[in-house]
């Protein structure tokens, strides 16, 4: 996996950059953006990072995340290089308007095909955008400082289920090992990621678990869980507290696909699907206008909860029986 030559040239020659990543950011979006920003700063560049939803509480421990801003002047972009990280179209960052930029770059590992970007570096096989940023920084000759290393490690850890999913390759572990040599403390990262929950967040998980339905009579065994806006109100939480919740039902032996339906408006739902092994949930997401990877995909849909559950189960079983 090596970055395109024209990307290296651009990053060396240009001076002003705005990095942006997707709404509802997780470890890969945050870690990749921040690691790239620190590196560009060390190269003497002017860099900003925009993530519309800011940094969720659970990621506040990551070094240098203060650089992330939740507001953006579109006007200022016209003289800057606009770099999309861990997503491939401006809409995913929450920018709805058209805007001008000097040049645009996409660095992403999502397989959904979009044509945005003057320079596109998309590696659907890459387990995390963080791994791509690692190779990019290596190619640029930037020193991997402890802060950069920790951001890249969190990015890679989160997208591989902390080295448990099928995308955990020898290469991933080799890079992780090097990042540990560069100053990452894996135990400290794991405590911050997995053993530092707020009671509010834990209460939301308890409520979600109570909604779980197991559909295990068809060819594909599906677990569906639901989070409503009412649950957010009752527990004092919001969407940023649901990171990784879609994975919870994967722990059941008799589940091939875990689905979380999260309410995002009176009749609007965000579906997050997680699968084990070969089952490709990205194909199902596409049917509903969404996207993602083989084992992690999602879409947004309007309708009643029961309708959506019914349609989704039907599609999952259809795909499972071919």
Smallest distance, Mn ion to C-beta of residue 303, A: 28
Closer to Mn ion by Cβ: residue 129 or 207: 129
Q: Which residue is nearest to Mn ion (CB)?
A: 28
- Cα–Cα distance measured from residue 68 to residue 65, given in angstroms and rounded to the nearest whole number: 6
Q: What tokens does 80 get?
A: 């800057």
Smallest distance, Mn ion to C-beta of residue 60, A: 19
Cβ contacts of 202-207, under 8 Å, gap ≥ 24:
203/235, 203/237, 204/231, 204/232, 204/235, 204/237, 204/241, 204/242, 204/245, 205/245, 205/248, 207/231, 207/234, 207/235
Closer to Mn ion by Cβ: residue 172 or 226: 172
Closer to Mn ion by Cβ: residue 53 or 86: 86
Q: Are 274 and 248 spatial neighbours (Cβ–Cβ below 8 Å)?
A: no
Closer to Mn ion by Cβ: residue 32 or 258: 32
Smallest distance, Mn ion to C-beta of residue 156, A: 9
Smallest distance, Mn ion to C-beta of residue 257, A: 19
- Cα–Cα distance measured from residue 29 to residue 155, given in angstroms and rounded to the nearest whole number: 7
299 SS3 class: strand
Closer to Mn ion by Cβ: residue 123 or 159: 159
DSSP state, 183? T
Q: What are the residues binding Mn ion (CB under 5 A)?
A: 28, 86, 129, 159
Smallest distance, Mn ion to C-beta of residue 199, A: 29
**Pairing assessment for the beta strands 268-275 and 103-108 based on DSSP bridges:** unpaired
């Amino acid at each position: 996996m090596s970055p395109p030559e024209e990307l290296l040239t651009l990053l060396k020659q240009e001076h002003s950059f705005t990095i942006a990543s997707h709404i509802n950011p997780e470890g890969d979006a945050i870690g990749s953006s921040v690691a790239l920003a620190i590196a560009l700063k060390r190269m003497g560049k002017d860099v900003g990072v925009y993530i519309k939803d800011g940094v969720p509480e659970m990621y506040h421990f990551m070094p240098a995340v203060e650089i992330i801003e939740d507001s953006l002047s579109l006007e200022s972009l016209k003289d800057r290089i606009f770099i999309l990280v861990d997503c491939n179209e401006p809409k995913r960052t929450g920018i709805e308007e058209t805007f001008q930029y000097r040049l645009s770059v996409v660095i992403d590992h999502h397989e959904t095909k979009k044509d945005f970007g003057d320079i596109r570096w998309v590696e659907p096989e890459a387990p995390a955008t963080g791994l791509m940023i690692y190779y990019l920084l290596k190619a640029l000759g930037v020193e991997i400082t402890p802060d950069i290393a920790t951001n890249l490690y969190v990015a890679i850890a989160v997208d591989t289920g902390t080295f448990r999913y099928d995308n955990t390759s020898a290469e991933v572990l080799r890079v992780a090992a090097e990042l540990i040599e560069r100053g990452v403390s894996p135990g400290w990262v794991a405590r911050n990621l997995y053993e530092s929950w707020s009671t509010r967040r834990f209460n939301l998980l308890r409520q979600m678990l109570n909604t779980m339905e197991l559909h295990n009579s068809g060819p594909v065994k599906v677990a569906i869980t639901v989070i409503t806006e009412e649950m957010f109100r009752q527990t004092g939480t919001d969407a940023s507290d649901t990171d990784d919740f879609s994975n919870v039902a994967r722990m059941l032996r008799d589940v091939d696909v875990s689905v979380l339906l999260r309410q995002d408006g009176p009749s609007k739902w965000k579906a997050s699907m997680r699968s084990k092994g070969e089952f490709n949930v990205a194909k199902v997401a596409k049917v509903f206008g969404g996207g993602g990877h083989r084992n992690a995909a999602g879409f947004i849909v309007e309708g009643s909860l029961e309708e959506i559950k019914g349609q989704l189960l039907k599609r999952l079983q259809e795909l499972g029986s071919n």
